């Protein structure tokens, strides 16, 4: 990745989960993918693959 991404994410607080378990969910604030992934009726995409540069 060539730049620093800034997008909002939600990290749940699961106190009873094992230490090796983690999760997060992204929101659409902070950007979406450029075309062709951002086209269509979905309002844009968020491709988290490190090879795409989003």
30: CB partners within 8 A, 6+ apart:
5, 6, 7, 8
Residue 15 CB partners (closer than 8 Å, separation 6+): none
Give pTM, 2 decimals.
Answer: 0.42
Q: What is the pLDDT of residue 15?
A: 93
Q: Supply the pLDDT for residue 26.
A: 77
Q: What is the pLDDT of residue 8?
A: 77
pLDDT tens readout for residues 1-54: 445 556 678 899 999 999 999 998 877 676 666 666 665 565 566 666 777 665
Whole-number Å distance between alpha carbons of 51 and 45: 15
> In this predicted structure, what is the pLDDT of residue 1?
43
Q: What pLDDT, on a 0 to 100 scale, did the predictor assign at position 47?
A: 67
């Amino acid at each position: 990745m060539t730049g620093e991404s800034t997008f909002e994410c939600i990290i749940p607080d699961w106190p009873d989960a094992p230490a090796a378990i983690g999760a997060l969910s992204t929101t659409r604030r902070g950007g979406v993918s450029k075309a062709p992934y951002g086209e269509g009726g979905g309002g844009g995409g968020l491709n988290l693959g490190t090879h795409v540069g989003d």
